[in-house]
Amino acid sequence: MVKVSSLFFIFAAIASTNAAILRRQSPKNGLSVTIESIDVYCSFLPKEAGGNIGASESDAITFCTQENPPNAPGAKLFPAGFLKTAHFLKTEKYVQVTGTIDGSAYGLSSSDGGGQYDNQGDGSPPGALCTGYEKFVNLVEPDIGLFCIRCCTDPSDCNTGESTEGCQKIVPGNYT
């Protein structure tokens, strides 16, 4: 009897661990971003128009090129005119979108130096994830009109430790 109960305990622990891992990978309503193509991608932004990027890192919400896509449930549609240019890149290690924005289309201040959203630690915002990827980093810089997001299979390919360096350093790519 002791052996059967020990096996049951081991299987329960494994199932619980796997369930926690699967929950982490499953899209979360309003807290998931996705990068699927040049036509379907997302970014975090302040929950209210005119908000400050850095101040919204704890309660930002998802905006996408399509409202409520399957891999980013609850996402809102980017404001009209917000996205100016976008460049999609997919490698074996990561997928990313880099480009330019017009922050005024969402009431963002031209003096807002921006900030970083990511899933380092508890996440910014807490519980955030990029569906299907281990780690992500997402910067929005209204003062210079840039945005970037990278989702990585290997966490080391998503640099979350230098947010003040900006998009061009953290997520090298095309910003024209």
Digit-coded pLDDT (tens) for 104-128: 999 999 999 999 999 999 999 999 9
pLDDT reported for residue 6: 44
26: confidence class by pLDDT, cuts 50, 70, 90 = low
* Mean pLDDT, rounded, for 143-169: 95
pLDDT tens, residue by residue, 31-82: 999 999 999 999 999 999 999 999 999 999 999 999 999 999 999 999 999 9
93: confidence class by pLDDT, cuts 50, 70, 90 = very high
Residue 175 has pLDDT above 90, yes or no: yes
List the one residue out of 84, 98, 93, 86 whose CA is nearest residue 173: 98
164: confidence class by pLDDT, cuts 50, 70, 90 = confident
139: confidence class by pLDDT, cuts 50, 70, 90 = very high
Pairing of strands 61-64, 76-77: parallel
Residue 155 has pLDDT above 70, yes or no: yes
Q: Which residues pair with 100 in a beta bridge?
A: 85, 146
pLDDT reported for residue 3: 52
Q: What is d(CA 130, CA 67) in angstroms, rounded to the nearest whole number?
A: 16
What the block records as the tokens of 79 is 């404001």
pLDDT reported for residue 25: 53
